[in-house]
């Protein structure tokens, strides 16, 4: 497994990046044991990607965290080259340990997504798992960057928070860097040809989440 930190990520760090790193320096230790209760649909998203043709050869996950999805992607797509990207060094340290048996197939990058294409590649599959809702501002630019980085016929796969009717819960999620305004999937559906879109309630309607798979045409 390759691991690199571009020089750009080691230069001037924006305030949001510093706040996020402080947050995940604590939460990285408990992430895998707690987030299963909140981050629904991740396994199904990858299973649905496995049903798409052609089989992706180059895969990027933006906001790969501790590497849970990267491990699943590596197992499902046994011949693919995979890049995992995250801002948090603490989360990537967990991913590095978890993915140590996968050799050179997985490349981990500590950097923000949205400007230059990571690794100078184009991709057949881009995965965003509970990432876009945390990019505020700038999520529109990230979606456009994803469109540019996909090969023609490439697939974008997104699982994320959608909305809540409870103001107190929306404020609490904002404290955890999450925006819940039902703002993501309409833009995704407008930019990509929708292959699958479904919104679902969580915890009796406390909030909703969505799964989206779209094709660059």
What tens digit of pLDDT does each residue of 6-41 get?
A: 333 323 345 556 666 665 555 555 556 555 566 899
Is pLDDT of 120 > 90? no
Residue 114 reports pLDDT greater than 80: no
Q: Write down the mean pLDDT value for the chain.
A: 86
Q: State the DSSP H helix or E strand holding residue 75, giving kind and residue range, or none if neither.
A: helix 68-76
Measured CA to CA, the distance from residue 56 to residue 68 in angstroms comes to: 19
pLDDT per position as a tens digit, 40-78: 999 999 999 998 889 999 999 999 988 999 999 999 999
Residue 4 confidence (pLDDT) above 70: no
Task: State the pLDDT at residue 215.
Answer: 98
Mean pLDDT in residue range 137-142: 92
**CA 28 to CA 177: how far, in whole Å?**
15
Lowest mean pLDDT among 24-38, 91-105, 112-126, 183-197: 24-38
Model pTM? 0.85
Please classify residue 4 by burial: count the beta carbons closer than 10 Å to its beta carbon, then call 0-12 exposed, 13-18 middle and 19+ buried. exposed
Percent of the chain with pLDDT over 70: 80
The whole-number pLDDT of residue 104 equals: 81
Domain spans of the chain, in order of start: 2-215
Q: Which CATH class is domain 2-215?
A: alpha beta
Strands across the sheet containing 2-4: 2-4, 106-110, 81-86, 58-62, 123-129, 150-163, 207-215, 193-202
Q: What is the mean pLDDT of residues 137-155?
A: 95
pLDDT at position 102 over 70: yes
Between 214 and 134, where is the model more confident?
214
């Amino acid at each position: 497994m390759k691991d690199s930190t571009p020089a750009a990520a080691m230069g001037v760090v924006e305030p949001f990046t510093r706040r996020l790193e402080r947050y995940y320096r604590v939460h990285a230790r408990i992430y895998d044991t707690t987030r299963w209760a909140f981050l629904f649909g991740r396994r199904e998203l990858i299973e649905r990607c496995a049903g798409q043709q052609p089989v992706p050869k180059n895969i990027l996950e933006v906001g790969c965290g501790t590497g849970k999805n990267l491990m699943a992607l590596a197992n499902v797509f046994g011949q693919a080259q995979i890049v995992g990207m995250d801002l948090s060094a603490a989360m990537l340290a967990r991913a590095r340990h978890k993915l140590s048996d996968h050799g050179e197939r997985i490349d981990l990058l500590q950097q923000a997504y949205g400007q230059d294409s990571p690794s100078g590649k184009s991709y057949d599959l881009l995965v965003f798992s509970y990432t876009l809702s945390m990019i505020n501002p700038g999520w529109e630019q990230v979606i456009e960057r994803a469109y540019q980085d996909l090969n023609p016929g490439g697939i974008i796969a997104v699982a994320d928070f959608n909305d809540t009717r409870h103001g107190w819960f929306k404020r609490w999620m904002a404290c955890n860097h999450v925006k819940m305004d039902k703002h993501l999937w309409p833009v995704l559906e407008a930019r990509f040809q929708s292959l699958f879109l479904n919104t679902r309630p969580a915890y009796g309607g406390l909030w909703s989440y969505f799964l989206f798979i779209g094709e660059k045409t």
